Structure 1
């Protein structure tokens, strides 16, 4: 028998979180196996803020479109436009190409990138983790690791293996269709704008989340999400395509997956396994934004694992969640409250869209989104928003 291969780290999952963790650890000089299940693309609007592009050195070639505004559509079909001031924009990526590029970058940094499906996590005679996976040819392979990073999505198999008592976290099931963008303006698709993200807050399309039409250059993502069981997501997207005048364009692919809406209370097993990305629950409530938080979570996981490999102290693994929540926990808390209150019915959605028309709200929203920091430098604007919000809560103003 050949001796079992050994790595410092096995990263399960090659999405933005796993690929970033693998790349950073390989740069540290660690031996890394990046294990990715081939052929799976997560349904995603593909929006990335400028901070992500800067912090993770994303080349312009991966930015397939630049959205310079958003249009919010109320249950009554009333629209509110939210332009981005100055030269700012939201980058749009196609996850099919974006994730592949991240995996290739990890491989170029020295990670051993393999296609395979995670099967189980066991321990050998030395009491270290052993990862067993199935290759695309159907062979079962086991490798030894000092640490394992589970970045394998909301339905994480690593969580089931290493965290048998893990709490169940809320999620929405997202579904989108990638279509060919209209090449020439026609009366039926006149509402489509290749530099604008359209967000629909309409209960008939999603009773507890939102629906979207996001431009991707030559293509567009049309999707919706909900936690309500039994709702036909395909039917909702069919209706959305008709509403947006995109029912006649070519459909290129369809994808669906669960999206978590709350960070897990624990990301490490206190021993040698750490979670990142959707497996850790780092998708923002209300907005469903996950790419930036996944990549940041992957980077923090790499830092924590690197510290653990040096010190041997398993407490270092807990630093990943601690650092993430210190920076973004308050934002997640606020967004969770916002979703639970404003998304509950169409009457509140109508008022929420009205609030989105306020210039103070728009400016602070874009600044916070693009820089991934709560804006504190304009207290008067925050005070104005507070009183306007109260007015809508108590219906002192019309929607």
Structure 2
């Protein structure tokens, strides 16, 4: 088997996490290779908050829509519109967006490898073995460290990191449609700058459904951990509910979304995980792009620190840095999912709670800035009291 060359770090997987890690390492002067199958498009709603746009310097050209309203829809059809004050949520198409991130990593100096990861070979040092996309041959590239960013159900995580083979998942399925126009637009309850989030057990018994605009197209889909749910039938029902049955279906996609960050992200030897491979998708919302890129950045930081110090324990920095900033948000979102996604009665109460202006402001401040805002302590206390009142059924479902 030919060995093409030697690098300091091989990043396995070229999604937002892997591409970000590769770009950061290349810009810091590390010899890094980015291995990706290229062309695979992950099913994704495509929402990115302003903090991502700012932190990772995403140009306007990558945005296919700007969302200014989020509509929450309850099991009984109640609709609560939450307006994004003084900003917007950007929408991207994952195919062009991921390709842009990979190209940017290459322009920064990362070596691009097109192929499928096969295994890690440690017989003579450490090397990544992959199947080259151009001719199907097995190739080997020697490296000092590896970043596993090969997504949910990661082969790298499964073979290298404790718990990597048992992480729980939600299955996400969506259909990409042409945006309604002409007669179809008259039938549809659809706005090109509004995201709809549907909390309804008939659509998803344990998560939610969505309608997300993407400019000339839109994403309609659901997530669920329940095996018995027919994803296509549920999405068909969602399309009918939104008046989108007449829109052309361009493609159908499905993929797992991890539900919980792994307790450990490194193997204590030569490897650290990032993105979906590490389980960093936000509970309750299923948001993953920002956290994937943040995970790629801390993985790159940990790898660079390890290369400089020679201390393998520095690989632990990836999880430590990520959790230091995001652990509380993940904990709150997990508690919300556990409390409100259990039944339609609870979902109804959750949407009712979303009428509250304090809830709306703090929710979107937290989403846009990726932190729990501490500037309004009384608002936090009020929300906590209202939350308890709803869970204890002290507030009528129709209360606003």
User: Fold conserved (TM > 0.5)?
Assistant: yes
Unmatched runs of 5 consecutive residues or more in structure 1: none
> Is this contact kept in 2: 1:121–1:162, CA < 8 A?
no
Conserved? CA contact 2:119–2:129, under 8 Å: yes
Partner of residue 16, structure 1: 16
Residues of 1 paired with 2:256 and 2:26: CA distance? 30
Per-residue CA deviations over 1:231-282 (Å, capped at 9, x if unaligned) read 1111111111111111111111111110001100000011110000000000
| Deviation for aligned residue 1:328 | 0.4
CA-CA distance at 1:163 after TM superposition: 2.4
What do the CA deviations read for 1:163-206 (whole angstroms, capped 9, x no partner)? Answer: 26646222100001111111347565341000000000000110
SS of the residue 1:119 aligns to: strand
CA contact (8 A) 2:163 2:262 kept: no
The change in CA–CA distance for 1:185 and 1:55 in structure 2 (over 3 A counts) is farther
Number of matched residues? 396
Distance 1:2 1:120, change over 3 A: closer
Please list every run of 5 or more consecutive structure 2 residues that lacks an aligned counterpart in the other structure.
none
2:126 aligned with 1:129:
yes
Query: Which shifted more, 218-227 or 380-389?
Result: 380-389
Identify the range of structure 1 (185-194 vs 329-338) with the bigger mean alpha-carbon deviation.
Answer: 185-194
Query: In the TM superposition, what is the alpha-carbon distance from 1:323 to its structure 2 partner?
Result: 0.7
**TM-score, with structure 1 as normaliser:** 0.97
**How far off is 1:8 after superposition?**
0.5
Contact 1:188 1:246 in 2 (8 A): no
Report the equivalent of 2:90.
Answer: 91
Query: Partner of 2:128: helix, strand, or coil?
Result: strand
Secondary structure of the residue aligned to 2:167 is: coil
Pair 1:274–1:187, CA change in 2 (3 A) = closer
- For 1:253-332, list aligned pairs within 5 A: 253-332=251-330
- What is aligned with 2:178? 180
Give per-residue Cα distances to partners, 1:321-364, cap 9 Å, x unaligned: 00100110111111111111100010000000000111000000
Kept in 2: contact 1:121–1:161 (CA 8 A): no
Which residue of structure 1 lines up, in the alignment, with residue 350 of structure 2? 352
Q: Which residues of 2 match residues 183-198 of structure 1 at below 5 A?
A: 183-184=181-182, 186=184, 188-198=186-196
Task: Report the counterpart of residue 52 of structure 1 in structure 2.
Answer: 52
Measure, in 1, the Cα distance between the counterparts of 2:92 and 2:185.
Answer: 27
TM-score by length of 2: 0.97
Relative to structure 2, which stretch is displaced further, 184-193 or 274-283? 184-193
Q: What is the alpha-carbon distance in structure 1 between the residues aligned to residue 115 and residue 162 of structure 2? A: 23
Hey, what does 1:64 align to over in structure 2? 64
RMSD: 1.3
CA distance in 1, matches of 2:8, 2:183: 54
1:35 and 1:215, CA in 2 relative to 1: closer, same or farther beyond 3 A? same
Whole-Å Cα distance in 2 between the matches of residues 162 and 226 of structure 1?
27
